[in-house]
């Protein structure tokens, strides 16, 4: 099969993705707010901010996760040189769930500890992780969308990285059913896992 042709430049996908990620990461801060049209005393302001501690925590976790998704997208497309209809739609679905991140973050911010809210958030992260795995697997299988002389070690590294993130998301999903209030902290295992992999090397 001839994989040399592409239905559009990969740069078009990257440009759209950069814009979507930028909007999604910016919208995360909208979940943080203070009362408008009223001047708060220092004590009142302190109380308002402290009451949003969980929202600040969710904001940081979601922002960092979205940043990881963005970095992953660019790492994958550093090696992906062509695109086709299936690859294009995989990326569109990735962006669809990325745009959902501000809403799922708002949900766990407003209903912290709620099983439904935490499961929704964990499901959102899981879908993105699975789609990134599918994107990389589809692009690299039999050199479909990458160069023939691509570094096989880098390809395997991408597979292992995506497997690690799916495992972390799956664990977070299970914990959201059992101990929902603490399930979001599971995502901290991802950077730890990446660091340990590098340390072993």
CB burial of residue 63 (10 Å; 0-12, 13-18, 19+): middle
At 152, is the secondary structure helix, strand, or coil?
helix
Q: With bands split at pLDDT 50, 70 and 90, how would you rate the model's confidence at 1?
A: very low
95 to 141, 168, 196, 199: CA distances (angstroms): 22, 20, 29, 32
* pLDDT score, position 90: 97
Q: With bands split at pLDDT 50, 70 and 90, how would you rate the model's confidence at 147?
A: confident
pLDDT tens-digit series, residues 60-69: 999 999 999 9
* pLDDT score, position 5: 61
Q: Which residue has the higher pLDDT, 20 or 184?
A: 20
CA–CA gap between residue 127 and residue 23 (Å, rounded): 19
pLDDT at 201 over 60: no
At 80, is the secondary structure helix, strand, or coil?
strand
What's the pTM? 0.86
CB burial of residue 117 (10 Å; 0-12, 13-18, 19+): buried
Helix pair angle (53-79, 85-110), 10° resolution: 170
Q: With bands split at pLDDT 50, 70 and 90, how would you rate the model's confidence at 47?
A: confident
Mean pLDDT of the region 162-177: 91
pLDDT tens-digit series, residues 77-96: 999 999 999 999 999 999 99
Q: With bands split at pLDDT 50, 70 and 90, how would you rate the model's confidence at 97?
A: very high
Helix pair angle (53-79, 115-140), 10° resolution: 10
């Amino acid at each position: 099969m001839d994989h040399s042709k592409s239905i559009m430049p990969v740069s078009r996908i990257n440009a759209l993705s950069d814009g979507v990620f930028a909007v999604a990461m910016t919208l995360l801060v909208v979940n943080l707010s203070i009362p408008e049209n009223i001047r708060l005393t220092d004590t009142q302001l302190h109380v308002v901010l402290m009451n949003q501690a969980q929202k600040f925590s969710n904001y940081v976790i979601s922002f960092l996760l979205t940043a990881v998704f963005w970095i992953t997208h660019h790492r994958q497309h550093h090696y992906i040189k062509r695109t086709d209809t299936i690859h294009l739609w995989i990326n569109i679905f990735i962006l669809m769930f990325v745009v959902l991140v501000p809403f799922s973050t708002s949900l766990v911010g407003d209903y912290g500890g709620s099983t439904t809210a935490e499961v929704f958030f964990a499901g959102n992260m899981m879908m993105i992780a699975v789609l990134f795995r599918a994107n990389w697997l589809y692009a690299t299988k039999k050199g479909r969308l990458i160069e023939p002389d691509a570094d096989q070690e880098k390809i395997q590294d991408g597979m292992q990285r995506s497997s690690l993130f799916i495992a972390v998301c799956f664990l977070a999903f299970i914990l959201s059913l059992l101990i929902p209030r603490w399930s979001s902290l599971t995502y901290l295992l991802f950077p730890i896992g990446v660091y340990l992999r590098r340390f072993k090397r």
